[in-house]
Structure 1
Amino acid sequence: MAEPTQPLLIDPNSPPRRSLDDTIETYIGTFGWAQFLQAALVSFSGVFDAQQTFISVFTDFEPTWHCTGRSEPGSICHEAVSNICILPKTAWSWDFSPHVSVISEWNLQCAGSFVKGLPESSFFVGCLFGGLILSTLADSSLGRKNMLFLSCLLMSISTMLTVFSPNIWVYAFLRFVNGFGRATIGTCALVLSTELVGKKWRGRVGIMSFFGFMLGFLSLPIVAYVNRGKSWRVLYVWTSIPTIIYCVLVRYFVCESPRWLFVRGRREEAISILKRVASIPKNTDVNNGGVISMSFEEGEEEEYEKPSVNIYESMKVLVGKRWALKRLSAIMAVAFGIGLVYYGMPLALSDLDFNIYLSAAFNALMDLPANLITLFLVDKLSRRNALIGFTALGGVSSVLIFALQNMRIGNHGALQLALELISYFSACSAFNMEMIYTIELFPTCVRNSAIALARQALVLGGVFSPIMVAAGRKNGFWSFGLFGLAIGLLGLCVVGLPETRGSDLCDTMDEEECKDQQSKNVITRIVIA
Structure 2
Amino acid sequence: MDRLPWAGIHWKIIVGLGTVWILDGLEVTLIGSLAARLVEPGSGLPITEGQIGLAASIYILGACLGALFFGRLTDKWGRKKLFMLTLVVYCVATFATAFAVEPWMFFVCRFFTGAGIGGEYAAINSAVDELIPAHYRGRVDILINGTYWLGATFGSFYSLFFLNTAMFAENLGWRFALGVGALLGVVIIFVRRHVPESPRWLFIHGREDEAEEIVERIEKQIRKETDEPLEKVGRDERITIHQRASIPFSEIAKTAFGKYPRRAILCLALFIGQAFLYNGITFNLGTLYQNYYGIDAGSAPLLMALFAIVNFLGALILGPLFDKVGRKKMIASTYLGSALVTVPLYFVFLNETGGLWGFVVLLSLTFFIATAGASAAYLTVSEIFPMETRALAIAFFYAIGTGVGGIIGPLLFGNFIESGDRGLVGLGFLLAAGIMAVGGIAEIFLGVDAEGKSLEDIAAPITAQQPGEENATT
TM-score (norm 1): 0.75
What's 1:44 paired with?
A: 19
Q: Is it true that 1:331 corresponds to 2:267 in the alignment?
A: yes
- 1:190 and 2:125 are equivalent in the alignment: yes
Which one of the candidate residues 429, 432, 451 is aligned to 1:501? 451
Q: Choose which of 206, 209, 215 in structure 2 pairs with 1:268.
A: 209
Q: Does 1:242 align with 2:242?
A: no
Partner-residue secondary structure (3-state), 2:323: coil
Q: How does 1:26-45 map to 2 (within 5 A)?
A: 26=3, 29-45=4-20
The structure-2 alpha-carbon separation of the partners of 1:512 and 1:317, relative to structure 1 and needing over 3 Å to count, comes to closer
Superposed CA offset, 1:226-259 (max 9, x none): 3223321111111112212322442x32210111
- Residues 54, 217 of structure 1: 8 Å contact kept: yes
Structure 1 residue 123 displacement after superposition: 0.3
User: Secondary structure of the residue that 1:378 maps to in structure 2?
Assistant: helix
Q: Do residues 423 (structure 1) and 359 (structure 2) align?
A: no
Identify if the C-alpha distance between structure 1 residues 295 and 394 changes in structure 2 by more than 3 Å, giving closer, same or farther.
Answer: closer
Q: 2: distance between equivalents of 1:48 and 1:57?
A: 14
Match of 1:467 in 2: 411
| 1:490 alignment partner in structure 2 | 439
Counterpart-to-counterpart distance in 2, 1:130 and 1:407: 43
Separation in 2, partners of 1:131, 1:254: 21
Aligned with 1:147 (options 64, 68, 82):
82
Distance in 2, matches of 1:292 and 1:382, equals 24
User: For the structure 1 residues 477 and 361, does the alpha-carbon distance in structure 2 shift closer, same or farther, using more than 3 Å as the test?
Assistant: same
Q: Which residue of 2 aligns with 1:12?
A: none
Please identify the structure whose Cα radius of gyration is greater.
1
CA distance in 2, matches of 1:181, 1:312: 25
Q: Is the 8 A contact 2:334 2:369 kept in 1?
A: yes
**Match in the other structure for 1:25:** 2
Give the distance between the partners of 1:337 and 1:189, measured in 2 at CA: 22
8 Å CA contact 1:258, 1:274 repeated in 2: yes
Separation in structure 2 between the aligned mates of residue 257 and residue 426 of structure 1, nearest angstrom: 32
2:472 aligns to what? none
Q: Does 1:307 align with 2:232?
A: no
Deviates more, 1:424-433 or 1:410-419: 410-419
The one-letter code of the counterpart of 1:504 is: S
Q: Which has the higher helix share?
A: 2
Match of 2:62 among 108, 120, 126: 126
Offset from partner CA, 1:151-172 (integer Å, 9 cap, x none): 0001111111112212112101
2:257 partner amino acid: V
**Please, what is the CA RMSD of the aligned residues?**
3.2
Q: CA separation in 1, counterparts of 2:251 and 2:412?
A: 36
| Alpha-carbon shift at residue 127 of structure 1 (Å) | 0.8
Q: Shift in Å at residue 443 of structure 1?
A: 2.7
**Unpaired segments ≥5 residues, structure 1:** 1-23, 65-93, 100-104, 286-290, 515-529
Alignment of 1:136-175 (within 5 A): 136-139=72-75, 141-175=76-110
3-state SS, counterpart of residue 165 of structure 1: coil
SS in 1 for 2:267: helix
Q: Which residue of 2 aligns with 1:351?
A: 288
Instruction: Provide the C-alpha distance between the structure 1 equivalents of 2:371 and 2:305, rounded to a whole number of angstroms.
Output: 16
Partner of 1:259: 200
- Distance of 1:267 and 1:508 partners within structure 2: 22
Q: CA deviation at 1:399?
A: 3.4
Matched, 1:403 2:386: no
Aligned to 1:480: 429
- SS at 2:5's partner residue? coil
Q: Deviations over 1:420-462 (max 9, x none)?
A: 2222223311112233333332232222222223322442222
Aligned equivalent of 2:317? 373
Q: Which amino acid aligns with 1:444?
A: M
* Unaligned runs of at least 5 residues, structure 2: 465-474
Verify the 8 A CA contact 1:333 1:457 in the aligned structure 2: no
Residues 163 and 450 (structure 1), Cα distance of their counterparts in 2 relative to 1, 3 Å cut: same
Match of 2:376 among 410, 421, 433: 433
**Cα deviation code 1:479-512 (max 9, x no counterpart):** 2121111111232112222322222221795569
**Segment of structure 1 superposing worse, 192-201 or 384-393:** 192-201
Query: Residue deviations 1:332-390, cap 9 Å, x none?
Result: 22211111111222234343554642532321212221122223312222211211111
Residue pair 1:156, 1:244 contacting (<8 A) in 2 also: yes
Q: Distance in 1 between matches of 2:140 and 2:349?
A: 41
Distance 2:429 2:37 in 1: 25
Partner Cα distance (2:365, 2:224) in 1? 48
Would the aligned equivalents of 2:388 and 2:462 in 1 still touch at CA under 8 Å? no
Aligned residues: 438
Q: Is the 8 A contact 1:442 1:506 kept in 2?
A: no
Distance change (3 Å), C-alpha of 1:415 and 1:512: farther
CA displacement at 1:117 relative to structure 2: 0.9
Higher relative contact order (CA 8 A, sep 6+): 2
Is 1:414 paired with 2:414?
Answer: no
The CA distance in 1 between the partners of 2:195 and 2:8, in whole Å, is 14
Q: TM-score, normalised by structure 2?
A: 0.83
Q: Secondary structure at the match of 2:454?
A: coil
Q: CA deviation at 1:213?
A: 2.7
Match of 2:149 among 214, 218, 236: 214
User: Aligned ranges for residues 50-61 of structure 1 at < 5 Å?
Assistant: 50-61=25-36
1:159 is aligned with what amino acid? T
2:271–2:374: 8 Å Cα contact kept in structure 1? Answer: yes
- What SS is found at the alignment partner of 1:195? helix
